[in-house]
Amino acid sequence: MLKGKRGKRLLLGQIAVFTVVWLVGVFFVFSGRAEAAEAAASGNEIATAAAFIAAGLVTGMGAIGTGIAVSSAAAAAIAAVSENEQNFGKSMIFVAMAEGIAIYGLLVAFMILGRV
Phi-psi region of 4 (alpha: psi -120 to 50; beta: other; left: phi over 0): left
Q: Which one is predicted more confidently, 31 or 73? A: 73
pLDDT of 33 above 70: no
Q: CB burial class (10 A; 0-12, 13-18, 19+) of residue 38? A: exposed
Amino acid at 26: V
Q: What is the tens place of the pLDDT at every residue in 58-112? A: 888 888 888 888 888 888 899 999 998 888 888 888 888 888 888 888 888 888 8
Q: Which one is predicted more confidently, 85 or 7? A: 85
Phi-psi region of 5 (alpha: psi -120 to 50; beta: other; left: phi over 0): alpha
Phi-psi region of 105 (alpha: psi -120 to 50; beta: other; left: phi over 0): alpha
CA-CA-CA-CA torsion sign (15, 21, 23, 26): negative
Q: What is the tens place of the pLDDT at every residue in 34-56? A: 455 555 556 678 888 888 988 88
Q: CB burial class (10 A; 0-12, 13-18, 19+) of residue 55? A: buried
Confidence at residue 87, expressed as pLDDT on a 0 to 100 scale: 87
Confidence at residue 72, expressed as pLDDT on a 0 to 100 scale: 86
What is the distance in angstroms between the CA of the first residue and the CA of the last residue of the chain? 38
In the chain the beta strands, taken as DSSP E runs, fall at: none
